[in-house]
Amino acid sequence: MEQKSPFDRSQLVKMLVMGAVLMIWLNLAPRLFPSLFPPPKPDAAAVDAVDPAKPEIDPDKSPDVAPELTKAAPAEGQPAPAAIATPEPSKPVVLTEGSPAQHKLGTVERGKGFFLEVQLTSKGAAVEWAKLNDERYTVLEDRTVPLKILGNRNADVDGTEPDSFQTAIDAIDAQIQSQNKTTRTAHWELLPGATNEKATFRLQAPDGSVAVRKTYTLHTGNEKDRDEDEMGYLLNLDLEIENLTDKEIKQSYKLVGPIGLPLENVANTRNYVELKAETYDDPQNASDVTAITRTASEILGQFDKAASKKDPSLIDSWRDPLHFVGVDVQFFMALMKPKVDQLLDENKDGQPDSYLKTAQPIIIARDKANPPRSDVGVMLTSTQLTIPPKGTVKHAYEIFLGPKRIPLARPLGEESALNFGRLAIITKTMVAILQFFHNVCYLPYGLAIILLTFTVRMCMLPITRKQVYDGEKMKLITPELTKLKAKYANEPEKFVSAQRDLMRRYNHNMFGGCLPLFLQLPIFISLYNALYTAVDLRMAKFLWINNLAAPDALFSFGREIPWIGSTFNLLPLLNVGLFLYQQKQMMPPAQNEEEQLRNKMMSFMTVFMGFMFYTVPAGLCLYFIASSILGMVERSLLKRFMPPIVLKPENAPELIDPNRPKSFLERQMNRLMEAADAAKHQTDGQGKNRPRDGK
């Protein structure tokens, strides 16, 4: 007879389910019904293991009260244990913060002598934002709203970004680390007596060893001379560290640079936030400096590469004495510099007494959709400061917050931060001419650009005259040159010789047409930089154009179109039409299919260039249109009054002295011809001696 198991399968499953339910109940019941499950008494051994000198502190409770530590009562009938002497719990180190506060320096109201309004915050004793009160510097979308030059945030911020000039004191941070606080985020005390020109914040270490003061002073300026009086754009920052003890101490600090400059016309501009710095290379020569520029893309690339390779040294860190450092955008900049000469050597140790140990880029907010538009800044780390007993060390900084103008930057020694490129002399000259027509002749900037174009064309008139004359010669030479190509299609040496004779008959240098282009290129680049960086063109009106520093935007499409944008821009299309007309007038008629294809390619390239220039500033388009129209007028007049083209007989001697010094292009051409002749003779010689029929 078969015996049955005392537990069948269904009973086993039921037991497992009940066990699982019991385990879940034991874990959830104390949380759901805490009154039914009183907390167990602490084990004596476990309590004795706790160090009463280091009690755990709840940061949400009063920091002066530590949790009570209790011991278990002795069991009934057992003798009481001997009393154990335990040390008194030490009082926790607590930072005394000031009340959250904000204070404004200056005003946005005009006529008070201020160029700025600056809002200070007690959090980190920092600058929350700064506004310009010049009516020319308002928000593009609403010309009644003053422009924030500091404190703008992009869309990807998460609220943890620092404010400008937040300061961290390393020694104090070490004391309050357990409180999850830092001097950069703690509220400093705003001292009484703050005015609209000056305010001071103070923070003292919990152990009473040091006290730190930060004083902001905003200067006034001459409101009738805003474009040349740099004092109105200066904010002074004095950082003082006071030793409250009777012993010498060492301290250091970290200072965040300016943050949150305005990004305007982001769909069309070429300049986003850039970090600018200038360092001294030679301690013995104050004029030996290095200008540094880092775009947001470059900084992001450095951080990403350093993270992937786990090598922080791949991020820039400038250790040379600093002249200035900060950030800028297309038309505005925020730069800070030590007020004391950083090359001084007061302690006579052979090294400059520089404020800073390093200056290093930091990422404020990464724009995930468009990384080049990310917000970046700089972190300044001081050298180790030795503070005598009851003494004070002071570091003073001068901060410029304003437009990028030469008369404002030059007195401060910050002219290298302006984006004038390698041809700065020509660019500055053109900016000066533009300002002359506007400020002296009282012309709107649209007409000033047209007159600037006329001035440039007049200066280049001798070059244009030669270019037109050579172009008319080429119209006569091209048909004959086409015949020579067909005649000597299989004899390149004879074609080169015949071409040379043809050019001699017309007294034409085939490379001479390139010279005007080479001379015009630097002028074009300089004018491009001048119109792109001229802050006066920002929000300047002309005809239907509301902003000469942006595309003319005749009307909006209502949506973003790739390669075109969201607005219909008329001026670039007018440019393309004028370029095509000029091209047709200047190019000789095609004589064969090859030349027809060349002309079509030139027309295609002109249209393609129109797409590339579709989003350039309206001021630049206005220059191109004026230049094209003036060029057509010049060409028509020069054709009418230029001397006739006279052909020389075929056997006439060269009009150019063969013994004269050859130009660079002629020397290169002669070398190519000599190399070709040598190669031909070598080939001919090998052909004569080459064995035939395998013998």
Predicted confidence (pLDDT) per residue in 649-658, tens digit: 555 554 444 5
Q: Say what angle helices 461-487 and 492-505 make with each other, to 10 degrees.
A: 140
| Spatial separation of the C-alpha atoms in residues 443 and 360, rounded to whole Å | 45
Q: Are 615 and 609 in contact (CB under 8 A)?
A: no
**What does the block give as tokens for 395?**
């570091």
Of 255, 168, 247, give the one whose Cα is nearest residue 208. Answer: 247
Can you give the pLDDT at residue 599? Answer: 72
What residues contact residue 237 under an 8 Å CB cut-off, 6+ apart?
Answer: 165, 214, 215, 216, 336, 396, 397, 398, 399
Residue 7 and residue 17: Cα distance in Å, rounded? Answer: 15
What pLDDT was estimated at residue 516? 61
- Per-residue pLDDT, 596: 73
pLDDT digits (tens, 9 = 90+) for 407-445: 999 999 888 888 777 777 888 888 888 889 988 888 898
Of the chain, the percentage scoring pLDDT greater than 70 comes to: 75
According to DSSP, residue 220 is labeled P
Q: Mind listing the domains of the chain with CATH numbers?
A: 102-419 (2.70.98.90), 430-641 (no CATH)
pLDDT at res. 306: 92
Helix residue ranges per DSSP H, 440-569: 445-459, 461-487, 492-505, 514-533
The residues, ordered by sequence, that sit 6+ positions from 290 with a Cβ below 8 Å of its Cβ are 278, 279, 281, 320
Residue 146 has a pLDDT of: 92
Q: Which two tokens stand for residue 236?
A: 């002074």
219 burial level (CB within 10 Å; 0-12, 13-18, 19+): buried
How far is 13 from 132, CA to CA, in rounded Å?
Answer: 78
pLDDT on residue 574: 87
Beta bridge partners of 238: 215, 396
Residue 4's pLDDT is 45
- Give just the sign of the alpha carbon dihedral 83, 84, 88, 92: negative
159: Cα within 13 Å, side-chain hemisphere: 0
Which stretches in the chain have pLDDT values below 70?
1-93, 507-520, 563, 585-592, 594-595, 610, 643-670, 672-695
Spatial contact of 18 and 26, defined as CB atoms under 8 Å apart: no
- pLDDT, residue 590, reads 64
Distance, CA of 445 to CA of 434 (rounded, Å): 8
